[in-house]
Amino acid sequence: GTGYLTEVSHSLNGNALSTLHSASDASFNPMVSSNNQRQTPEGSIGLKRRIGLMSGASLIVGTMIGSGIFVSPKGVLQRSGSVGMSLLVWTGCGLLSLLGALCYAELGTMITKSGAEYSYLLEAFGPIPAYLFSWVSVFVLKPSMLAIICLSFGEYVVGPLSVGCSPDPLLVKLVTILAIGIITFINCFSVQLATQIQNICTVAKLSAVAIIVVGGAVKLSQGHIQHFNKGFEGTSSSFSDIATAFYSGLWAYDGWNNLNYITEELVNPFVNLPRAIYFGIPLVTVCYVLINISYLTVMSTTEVLASEAVAMTWASRVLGVMAFLMPLTIAISTFGAGNGTDFTTGRLTFVAAREGHLVGILSYVHIRRFTPSPALITNAILAICMIIPGNIGSLIDFFSFTAWLFYGATMTALVVLRWKKKDIARPYKVPLVVPFVVMAISAYLVLAPIIQQPQIEYLYALLFIVSGLILYVPFVHYKLELRIMDKITVFLQLLLEVTPTSPITS
Ligand code: ARG
């Protein structure tokens, strides 16, 4: 059959599943266990299918639109060198995200386990690449995403309050930590609450987008086209500049793969996953390109380059006394993106731990709330560690480099599975050139900066990825168990009221 996939989905009984990770078996606490048997019939503890099409689309749109579009236009313009090229880069990033997401639609409807890249790499290449992905994601990528997003939240909340002086960095960090705390609480508290907040934030940010687009259209119609006259003059001819311009833009588009992390919680994933992708990503692309046109209608390139936060300068020009609305909506927008990021990260951690690639407790779920709270709390702690030294720019470059390394690898997984698993049903099938195109572009994005301007950070990133093997060999491959871990697990299980899960049933 289809190997572990069928094995997992057929073992509806909680005990059968807990043998999948022996640590949980040994530490399964009778008190907690009898408790949950009273509350719910055996086998039904786990994440539930609760996300519909609208919430799914809002998870994509709402995590894609975060801080990036309000901050990155400067980076894209600087690195691409001209107005024309920057608009092309923004469009290109959208197209690339769409192509990538179409491949993920095939993968996600064929392998309906949550965890996106993790589950696909596991199916195509076996445990080691999947493990390395979860290692880098859980310990670096995902917490640094949450950190970047919440830092922007902090800046936009503290900024308007500190009139006339630059915002106090300590205060910004405190507000950031507060935001991470609140987001984590919401996500541990209830899936419904988290999705409702996600939906509200998405509506709020789409209104902000609409304001910027309409404001720009009004100015354009008044004949402010002088900044577009230069077209492609000054376009950078360096390959690595264009690649890093893409890095800035792609950060704003990141999140196009978010729904794939929670396929197990999606109602009717075969239909809703592709639909949410078809709807969400073109919508975001159109918004981003129009927003950039609006920025450039109101500001010259020099002004965009001089502005730390383009959207704010834009607002003070166009909105006048209502300019205070802008930081408010950006704060809501980043909060929503942070919430969506945290939501999906919890699931990735959960799936990798369920497979035995991370400490067992990370796959436990709250006995009444059905949320993966240990995974969420771990993510929060790591994110807080990252904001303490935090410099956003370098975080973003490192992020895009590593992320595209794995997106490229996932494209390879799609191609390999076409041939290795010919007979699996594929409710959605992407034309085979698409993964090849995305693969080529991601290879370019990863290699061009390394070749043209080697920076030691890229080497560190690679070393970090490989260093995951040091833990893999003893703990995953040889299944080494530390006595103390059982004690810790039991303690945490009682403290957090969590239990091992049974697999998702529809
Ligand atoms: N695109 C978002 C922004 O501009 C960041 C998305 C973070 N990525 C993710 N997979 N959650 O702020």
Is the pLDDT at 261 greater than 90? The verdict is yes
Across all residues in the chain, what is the average pLDDT?
82
Question: What pLDDT shows up at residue 185?
Answer: 95
pLDDT range class, residue 439, cuts 50, 70, 90:
very high
pLDDT range class, residue 393, cuts 50, 70, 90:
low
From the centroid of its chain, how far is CA 442? Answer: 17
User: What average pLDDT does range 225-241 have in this prediction?
Assistant: 79
Q: CA-to-CA distance for 21 and 317, rounded, in angstroms?
A: 58
Q: CA-to-CA distance for 45 and 37, rounded, in angstroms?
A: 9
User: Residue 221 Cα, ligand 1 centroid: separation in angstroms?
Assistant: 32
Q: In a mutational test of the pocket of ligand 1, which residue from 149, 330, 332, 386 has the highest number of ligand atoms less than 8 Å from its CB? A: 149
Is the pLDDT at 429 greater than 60? The verdict is yes
How far CA 83 is from CA of 67, 141, 300, 317, in Å, comes to 21, 31, 10, 20
Range among 94-103, 169-178, 371-380 with highest mean pLDDT value:
94-103
User: Residue 226 Cα, ligand 1 centroid: separation in angstroms?
Assistant: 32
Q: CA-to-CA distance for 503 and 501, rounded, in angstroms?
A: 6
Q: Which token pair is 352?
A: 């990798």
Residue 469's identity, in one-letter code, is: L
Residue 49 near residue 232, CB atoms below 8 Å: no
Question: What pLDDT shows up at residue 396?
Answer: 64
pLDDT range class, residue 228, cuts 50, 70, 90:
confident
Question: What pLDDT shows up at residue 153?
Answer: 92
Question: What pLDDT shows up at residue 275?
Answer: 95
The angle that helices 239-253 and 73-80 make with each other, rounded to 10 degrees, is 160
pTM of the model: 0.84
Question: What pLDDT shows up at residue 33?
Answer: 36
- Among residues 245, 332, 249, the alpha carbon closest in space to that of 288 is found at 249
Greater confidence, 472 or 192? 192
Question: What pLDDT shows up at residue 483?
Answer: 74
The angle that helices 433-452 and 239-253 make with each other, rounded to 10 degrees, is 120
Range among 5-19, 334-348, 351-365 with highest mean pLDDT value:
334-348
Q: CA-to-CA distance for 111 and 197, rounded, in angstroms?
A: 28
**What is the H or E stretch that residue 498 is in?**
strand 498-499
Q: Which of 242-251, 262-271, 454-463 has the lowest mean pLDDT?
A: 454-463
Q: In a mutational test of the pocket of ligand 1, which residue from 176, 341, 348 has the highest number of ligand atoms less than 8 Å from its CB? A: 341
Q: Can you tell me which atom of ligand 1 is nearest the CA of 68?
A: 4
Q: Which token pair is 94?
A: 């959208």
Q: Can you tell me which atom of ligand 1 is nearest the CA of 145?
A: 7
State the first-to-last Cα distance of the chain, in angstroms, to the nearest integer.
21
What residues contact residue 501 under an 8 Å CB cut-off, 6+ apart? 14, 17, 45, 46, 47, 354, 363, 364, 365
Question: What pLDDT shows up at residue 342?
Answer: 92
User: What average pLDDT does range 255-265 have in this prediction?
Assistant: 92
Is the pLDDT at 27 greater than 80? The verdict is no
Residue 101 near residue 257, CB atoms below 8 Å: yes
What residues contact residue 300 under an 8 Å CB cut-off, 6+ apart? 227
Residue 12 near residue 502, CB atoms below 8 Å: yes
Question: What pLDDT shows up at residue 5?
Answer: 33
Greater confidence, 504 or 453? 453
Q: Give 287-333 pLDDT, tens digit per residue.
A: 999 999 999 999 988 888 888 778 888 888 888 888 888 888 899 99
Greater confidence, 487 or 328? 328
Residue 361 near residue 499, CB atoms below 8 Å: no
How far CA 107 is from CA of 46, 124, 413, in Å, comes to 23, 11, 9
Q: Please tell me if the CB atom of residue 258 comes closer than 6 angstroms to any atom of ligand 1.
A: yes
φ and ψ at 349, to 5 degrees?
A: -60, -45
Question: What pLDDT shows up at residue 21?
Answer: 33
Question: What pLDDT shows up at residue 281?
Answer: 95
Q: Give 153-184 pLDDT, tens digit per residue.
A: 998 888 877 776 777 888 989 999 999 999 99
φ and ψ at 455, to 5 degrees?
A: -125, 145
pLDDT range class, residue 111, cuts 50, 70, 90:
very high
Is the pLDDT at 29 greater than 90? The verdict is no
Q: Please tell me if the CB atom of residue 149 comes closer than 6 angstroms to any atom of ligand 1.
A: yes
- Measured from the Cβ of residue 458, the count of other Cβ atoms closer than 10 Å reads 19
